[in-house]
Amino acid sequence: MQELIVGLVTFFAFPAVQFVLLKRFARREGRPELWYLPRFGYRLVIHNISGRKVLSELRYRTILRHYIPSGDGASVITLQDTTLDEEENMFLFPGTDQVLLSFRVEVDGSQLVLIHTDKVGADLARFPIADQDRLITDYIANVENLFNFDIRLAKRAELKGTTIRTMAQLREKEQELPLDRIRDVG
């Protein structure tokens, strides 16, 4: 009887332990990174160049969130979101990054301007940014694995307007820049 109990515990515990280990490992996969490339500008990417796993069913959306302060007729802050990009991709293979947003930053007088660009730096749209505004990218994907457990990663990367303002001075070399906040969801 004892062997039967040990066998049942092992039978049910092994997949649970595998799932927990895979879930923990998946937290390091598909992390967001922000890069400055002098030739093209800034690129916010899902990093998978050094990754070993395929990401599938990738969906992402990038918004510019403008904060409208409370005042007469509204006792709370109002959030106004402008969608900059929204995409779905089937796969992200190891050895490649997924570009979530390409942009440049300029200061026009005292006004900070985010310029949404394509991957090679051609202008698509211009948006004024205040210091309290945020650039937010949300994305979800499956981390493929040998055991066929669906490991879902979901992340939010944020840049504050004040951080974007400091980025306007970068002009020299290719470099990775820190994001203000990365949230793991789930």
* Residues 163-176: tens digit of each pLDDT: 999 888 777 889 99
Phi, psi of 60 (to 5 degrees): -150, 160
Within 8 A by CB and 6+ apart from 20, the residues are: none
Domain extent, residue 134, equals 2-184
Domains of the chain: total: 1
* Residues 126-158: tens digit of each pLDDT: 999 999 999 999 999 988 877 666 788 899 999
Its pTM stands at 0.82
* Below-50 pLDDT ranges, the chain: none
